[in-house]
Amino acid sequence: IINRFIKQFPTTMAQQPVALLTRKETFSACHRLHSKHLSDAENAEIYGKCNNPNGHGHNYTGE
C-alpha cells in the first residue's frame, strides 16, 4: 500500500522525508581530578572543586 502511494508522486517528492523524529537525552557525569604525586593540599590548590573526594559533576544534554 505504501509503495503504491509513493509511486503517485514525482521521484523527487517521494525521496523527501515525511517526518523527522529527534530525541533529547540528559545525563550526569562525575569525575575527580587528583594526582597521587601531590599532597592533598597541593591537589586542592591546583584542582579546586574538581578535587572533591566525592567527585565533581556535570549535566549534559544531547539532541
CB 26 within 8 Å of CB 63: no
| Count of CA atoms in the C-beta half-sphere (13 A) of 47 | 19
Is residue 19 within 8 Å of 11, Cβ to Cβ?
no
Q: How confident is the model at residue 61 (pLDDT cuts 50, 70, 90)?
A: very high
pTM of the model: 0.51
The pLDDT, as a whole number, for residue 47 is 95
- The torsion defined by the Cα of 54, 48, 34 and 30, in degrees rounded to 10, comes to 40
pLDDT tens digits, residue range 8-60?
666 665 566 678 788 999 999 999 999 999 999 999 999 999 999 999 899 99
* Rounded CA separation 21/14 (Å): 18
Q: Count Cβ atoms below 10 Å from residue 43 Cβ, excluding itself.
A: 19
